[in-house]
Homo-oligomer: A and B are copies of this chain.
């Protein structure tokens, strides 16, 4: 891996290559935005062809989205130049871009930059950090995690890096996340594991309700571990999913924690809900409400807005069954019980809301499912960051 500053952004690293000498099987999940960026279309095409790949070339600072046929040509050039630098062919390299939408890539800088980055490829932890840094846009920190676990008595490694801070409301995927593993697994089972784990991680977060044109989660598996190949939904597959889910969940939660301007991490826990889809609709309606988000920023226990947001989630609702508790490490407080407002101590509520991580626990009293989703508050800085993004 390697990541460097090549001049797409004013400063900071902005181009990276993730490379495996061993060919990898690959699974991906991409944005459901109808306007897909050129690199998303490229990666989807390669996924359909089910080719083995050797890696990914990624740039930040420019999303290469709504850039027409020239945008598609530029993506292909990125793939072929980076492939050539490592002695492979263009359709063995995936491409990702993230940044401003609707501007053509500065191809002179990118062509030079790919040579530079390719010349620095190595396996050091520092290089992994550099890649994690080179994919950032408005993020304030790098996002990475690694697990070393056993499957069937054999050690496997899973590493994940991600980026994302605004335009976060993933639909089948998030901004950008790259997972590498040496686990032995077939392509269909790798895709199945990824799709399954995304449902409870990246698809359960929101920063601003905006689904990006470039959302991509890509997992590369080079099969170098000694585990028995995972080719069906058995115990080993479950174990692999468990590790993958933990990695994706970490990256997903760090993304909302680092949400543009965020001062608080909010976890909605819909408990005793009828089913997953219903819980998801309600939880995401709460977490996308600007009024709920600003109330938490203001540390104001204005819980009525949570009920109002549930009311327009698009699912039938009977508020008489519902109870609502706010919780943080300072304690918990019941605000609404089976349809009736509960008198509560405002000072204690403020103590709870002053914490950086807050749980909104909604007891639906209608089923047995528990559904969790994550978001953040809406602050002055979100407005500042996004009012000045291009300048």
Listed in ascending order, the chain A residues whose CB lies under 8 Å from chain B are: 32-36, 63, 65-68, 70, 100-104, 166-167, 169, 171, 208-213, 288-291, 294-295, 297-305, 307-313, 315-317, 319-320, 335-336, 339-341, 378-380, 382-391
Contact = CB atoms under 8 A, between A and B. Distances in A.
Contact of A211 (B66, B312, B336): B312
Given A210-B289, A304-B101, A294 B34 contact: no
A365 to B, nearest CB: 15
A213 B100 contact: no
Given A211-B312, A341-B68, A102 B386 contact: no
A317 B63 contact: no
A336 B290 contact: no
Contacts of A339: 66, 68
Contacts of A34: 310-313, 315-317, 319
A300 B388 contact: yes
Contacts of A378: 290, 383
A311 B383 contact: no
A347 to B, nearest CB: 13
B101 A290 contact: no
B209 A290 contact: yes
A33 B307 CA distance: 10
Contacts of A291: 166-167, 208, 210, 386
B33 A305 contact: no
Contact of A312 (B210, B295, B382): B210
B383 A307 contact: no
A103 B290 CA distance: 21
Given A68-B341, A298-B388, 6 more contacts: A35-B311, A101-B305, A167-B308, A210-B289, A291-B386, A295-B386
13 contacts: A33-B311, A34-B312, A35-B311, A67-B341, A103-B341, A209-B209, A210-B305, A213-B311, A290-B290, A290-B382, A295-B389, A298-B388, A300-B388
Contacts of A310: 34-35
A335 B66 CA distance: 12
A209 B312 CA distance: 10
Nearest to A171: B312
Contacts of A102: 303-304, 307, 335-336, 341
A330 B213 CA distance: 31
A21 B339 CA distance: 38
A308 B341 contact: no
A139 to B, nearest CB: 16
Contacts of A335: 102
Contact of A294 (B33, B209, B387): B387
A277 to B, nearest CB: 16
Nearest to A102: B304
B211 A383 contact: no
Contacts of A171: 312
A299 to B, nearest CB: 8
B101 A308 contact: yes
Given A100-B304, A312-B32, A384 B390 contact: no
A294 B383 contact: yes
A167 B302 CA distance: 13
A270 B68 CA distance: 21
Contacts of A297: 383, 387
Most buried by B among A36, A70, A213: A213
Given A35-B311, A302-B100, A311-B35, A290 B68 contact: no
Given A312-B171, A382-B294, A103 B210 contact: no
